[in-house]
């Protein structure tokens, strides 16, 4: 490995992965129909349930998070019913389009990019129901907005038939998330963001309600069918060959995360967020997300000083970092400082010092 030329990742996914976690992937391969694998799966399942704070189940998928978007939409939205998608950035927009491309009827509740959703807005939109599901992106990575999921969940729970489907790709293990306490039906995530793993494996906490709903839907596909995944899961297995090396890495990473403690991990991310906000303000830069909605895992800086983000990225590359230049239609108008995964405050200080040097302070 050419460690000397490696530029540490400060982008909002894939994130920097610790060497011990990378190395866990190099263990001898095992067959997925043998006892060693079912032990691994059971261990992982137990830790994943602790990490999602759920007693139900956490399905494991050999895909990126996008696959589980498709699975959640197909397993939860019946053909003659509709879903409400909350859209305020690139990822929430894409999920709504994926539901539609799977033939689902979708209503969209939209805010400007950079804004978040209040429970009142959701309550109002739910009057146009009934909805089979409300689809929310907890942390909109493209805009640095975290939505008030606990409060939104309370509003959704007023409607008994409505499942709450949540994309926690860049919030799981970075922002407070309590699947059972908050009554989240699907909490899906990828590996390569706040989880701090390499890409290629995805996870979703899935409620009993979801499996009951899925049983009423005839054409759910196969690869992302939650019923099929759950059947295998009960035997500590997966329907098709899983990404075993990534599961080794996840096993190791979850040990370290649970040792750190979920609450400590959430706190560390909030501290890094607050530090990043204070730094941006000192630099005379703006913040794209309004107060109260600012993400613990990624700060979208409003580029009010018209900083040349290409030049800034080149400069930071010289310092040994890969940084972000903004995403989608707000690229350049914003740039994002990721502080997710296993990033520690010391590394964030190095990043901010480098950026400060570029900005001439």
Residue 190 as a binder of ligand PLP (CB under 6 A): the answer is yes
Residue 116 as a binder of ligand PLP (CB under 6 A): the answer is no
CA distance 195 to 267: 15
CA distance 340 to 68: 21
Please identify, using beta-carbon distances, which residue of 137 and 249 lies nearer to ligand PLP.
Answer: 137
Q: Which of 197, 173, 219, 169 is nearest to 66 (CA)?
A: 169
Q: Within positions 85 to 114, which residues make up the interface with ligand PLP, using CB under 6 A?
A: 91
Q: Sketch the per residue contact string, 145 through 174, with ligand PLP: x for CB under 6 A, - otherwise.
A: ----------------------x-xx----
Q: Sketch the per residue contact string, 206 through 235, with ligand PLP: x for CB under 6 A, - otherwise.
A: ------------------------------
Residue with tokens 């704070």: 53
Shortest distance in whole angstroms from residue 309 CB to ligand PLP: 19
End-to-end CA distance of the chain: 36
Please identify, using beta-carbon distances, which residue of 75 and 98 lies nearer to ligand PLP.
Answer: 98
Residue 334 as a binder of ligand PLP (CB under 6 A): the answer is no
Shortest distance in whole angstroms from residue 202 CB to ligand PLP: 6
Residue 328 as a binder of ligand PLP (CB under 6 A): the answer is no
Shortest distance in whole angstroms from residue 108 CB to ligand PLP: 16
**Whether 286 contacts 294, CB under 8 Å:** no
**Angle at which helices 35-52 and 244-260 cross, to 10°:** 40
Please identify, using beta-carbon distances, which residue of 110 and 350 lies nearer to ligand PLP.
Answer: 110
**Residue 137 C-alpha from the chain's centroid:** 8
Please identify, using beta-carbon distances, which residue of 91 and 321 lies nearer to ligand PLP.
Answer: 91
Interacting residues of 321 by C-beta distance below 8 A, sequence separation 6+:
7, 8, 9, 10, 350, 351, 354
Shortest distance in whole angstroms from residue 137 CB to ligand PLP: 5
Count of beta carbons in the 10 Å neighbourhood of residue 241: 10
Interacting residues of 72 by C-beta distance below 8 A, sequence separation 6+:
133, 135, 165, 186, 188, 204, 226
Q: Within positions 11 to 70, which residues make up the interface with ligand PLP, using CB under 6 A?
A: 13, 64-66
Please identify, using beta-carbon distances, which residue of 73 and 190 lies nearer to ligand PLP.
Answer: 190
Pairing of strands 8-9, 321-322: parallel
Q: Within positions 119 to 148, which residues make up the interface with ligand PLP, using CB under 6 A?
A: 137, 141
| Burial 182-201, CB ≥16 within 10 A → b, else e | bbbbbbbbbbbbbbbbbbbb
Please identify, using beta-carbon distances, which residue of 342 and 354 lies nearer to ligand PLP.
Answer: 342
Instruction: Count residues binding ligand PLP (CB under 6 A).
Output: 12
In the complex, the residues that contact ligand PLP under the rule CB under 6 A are: 13, 64-66, 91, 137, 141, 167, 169-170, 190, 193
């Amino acid at each position: 490995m050419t460690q000397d030329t490696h530029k540490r990742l400060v982008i909002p996914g894939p994130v920097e992965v610790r060497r011990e976690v990378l190395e866990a992937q190099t263990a001898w391969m095992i067959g997925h129909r043998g006892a060693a694998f079912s032990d691994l799966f059971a261990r992982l399942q137990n830790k994943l349930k602790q990490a999602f704070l759920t007693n139900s189940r956490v399905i494991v998928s050999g895909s990126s998070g996008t696959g589980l978007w498709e699975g959640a939409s197909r397993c939860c939205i019946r053909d003659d019913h509709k879903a409400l998608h909350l859209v305020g950035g690139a990822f929430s927009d894409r999920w709504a389009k994926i539901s539609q491309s799977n033939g689902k009827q979708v209503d969209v509740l939209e805010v400007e990019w950079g804004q978040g959703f209040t429970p009142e807005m959701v309550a109002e939109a739910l009057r146009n129901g009934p909805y089979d599901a409300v689809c929310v992106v907890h942390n909109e990575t493209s805009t640095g907005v975290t939505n008030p999921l606990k409060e939104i969940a309370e509003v959704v729970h007023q409607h008994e038939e409505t499942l709450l489907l949540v994309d926690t790709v860049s919030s799981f293990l970075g922002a407070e998330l309590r699947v059972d306490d908050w009554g989240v039906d699907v909490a899906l995530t990828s590996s390569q963001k706040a989880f701090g793993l390499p890409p290629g494996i995805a996870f979703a906490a899935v409620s009993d309600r979801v499996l009951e709903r899925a049983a009423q839907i005839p054409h759910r596909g196969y690869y992302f069918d939650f019923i099929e995944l759950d059947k295998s899961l009960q035997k500590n297995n997966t329907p098709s060959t899983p990404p075993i090396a990534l599961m080794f890495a996840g096993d190791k990473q979850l040990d370290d995360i649970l040792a750190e403690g979920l609450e400590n991990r959430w706190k560390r991310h909030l501290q890094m967020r607050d530090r990043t906000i204070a730094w941006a303000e000192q630099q005379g830069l703006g913040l794209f997300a309004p107060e109260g909605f600012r993400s613990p895992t990624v700060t979208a800086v409003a580029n009010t000083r018209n900083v040349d983000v290409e030049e800034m990225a080149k400069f930071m590359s010289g310092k040994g970092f890969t940084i972000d230049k903004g995403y989608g239609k707000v690229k350049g108008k914003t740039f994002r400082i990721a502080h997710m995964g296993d990033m520690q405050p010391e590394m964030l200080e190095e990043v901010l010092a480098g950026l400060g040097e570029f900005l001439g302070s």
